[in-house]
A = this chain, B = another copy of it.
Amino acid sequence: MASEPVSTVFFLSDFGTQDEFAGVVHAVIAARAPGTTVIDLTHHIPPFDVRAGSHTLVRAVPHLGSGVVLGVVDPGVGTARRGICMEVAVRAGGTLFFVGPDNGLLVAAAEAAGEAPITRVVELARDPAPDRGATFDGRDLFAPVVAALCSGTATLLQLGEPIDPASLARLPGGVVEQGRLHDGRTCLRAEVTWVDHFGNLQLAATVADARVAGMPAVGSIELAARIESGREYLDGLPHSLVPDGVQLRCVDAFGALERGEFGIIADANGHLAVVAAEASAAHWLNVVAGELLVLAW
């Protein structure tokens, strides 16, 4: 079965944009598969931060049509870690291919996009390059594969040998735990999975998680504590870095908050987010991705 050519590529990396890395990948695809539309999701994933890249892809995939997701956050480039391509039938119809390293970057997004468990995965075959290092698989391995899919010159199974989906590298999910504080209040401990450009703090907890935990949808929630990544904490007596708590008003729009006020909102991905009025909640609460927030009511 010949693959139908696909015409759109969704490209994410930690390449930054100060160098020519991302542009050269575009050029390789344009030369081999003219007419392909390559959309940059972002190239500003923090260097080597595979988990941040994975979260970003999970957020993006519900909004992509058919095409190829090219993800390159790849500290293991040049080592024995595999390059992979997955083919996924998308819930909304159509097909998404995922091309990149087998380090956990792609698999959560492929599962989020697909209507069924992943079954079609290959390990990409590779040719060694003469007289230059094997440090740029984005250009030398993945871009040619993407171009082959886009130009229809290769099917999935022509790209390499099938591998067992159970063997794919995976990352731990974000922490979401319901609990009870020593004062008897119910609490939700949730990891900050993303600090966006505006300083909004996305939590691993979804609107559905909040509903299950019985979190009120009106009034205020208390941000009772902030727990640094990797810190121990006692249940009911968390190591509090938010002195005396911070009130988060439940709102539907950033603009409903007064200057100086913090809020909690259902964000555009269906997750809870801690936000501030035309300001950076991350800055004012001194929170970074990977920390846990304890919300109490």
Contact partners of A30 in chain B: CB under 8 A: 8, 37, 39, 65
Report copies per complex.
3
Quote the shortest CB–CB distance from A249 to chain B (angstroms): 14
List which A223-243 residues lie within 8 A (CB) of chain B: none
Contact of A133 among B35, B197, B266 (CB under 8 A): B266
A169 in the interface (beta carbon within 8 A): no
> Known contacts being A19-B56, A44-B17, is A278 close to B75, with CB within 8 Å?
yes
> Quick check: A278 and B48 within 8 Å, CB to CB?
yes
Q: How far is the CB of A279 from the nearest CB of chain B, in Å?
A: 9
Q: B23 touching A270 by the CB < 8 A rule?
A: no
Chain B min CB distance to A6 (Å): 11
Contact with B along A1-22 (1 / 0, CB 8 A): 0000001101010011111110
- Minimal beta-carbon separation of A109 from chain B (angstroms): 11
- Report if A79 contacts B (CB, 8 A): yes
A297 CB-CB contact with B under 8 Å: no
Tell me the nearest residue of chain B to A208, going by C-beta. B131
Determine the distance from Cα of A10 to Cα of B29 in the docked complex, in whole angstroms: 13
Chain B residues near A47 (CB, 8 Å)? 197-198, 278
Scan A22-36; emit 1 where CB is below 8 A from any B CB, else 0: 011011101100110
Interface size class of A (residues with CB under 8 A): 35 or more
A268 partner, pick from B44, B140, B254, beta carbons under 8 A? B140
- Name the distance in Å between A58's Cβ and chain B's nearest Cβ: 10
Contact A60 B17 (CB under 8 A): no
> Within 8 Å of chain B (Cβ to Cβ): is A255?
yes
Contact B24 A41 (CB under 8 A): yes
Interface residues of A (CB under 8 A from B): 7-8, 10, 12, 15-21, 23-24, 26-28, 30-31, 34-35, 37, 39-44, 47-48, 56, 59-60, 63-66, 75-79, 81, 131-136, 139-140, 194, 196-198, 207-208, 252-256, 265-270, 273, 278
* Known interface pairs A17-B40, A17-B42, A48-B278; 15 further A-B residue pairs with C-beta atoms within 8 A, sorted by A's residue number: A8-B34, A12-B20, A12-B23, A15-B197, A18-B197, A19-B44, A19-B56, A19-B194, A19-B196, A20-B56, A24-B60, A35-B37, A131-B207, A131-B266, A133-B270
10 A-B contacts (beta carbon < 8 Å): A10-B27, A15-B197, A17-B40, A23-B41, A27-B63, A47-B278, A75-B254, A76-B253, A78-B256, A132-B269
Going nearest first, the 6 A-B pairs with the smallest beta carbon separation are A78-B253, A31-B65, A136-B268, A16-B197, A23-B41, A133-B266
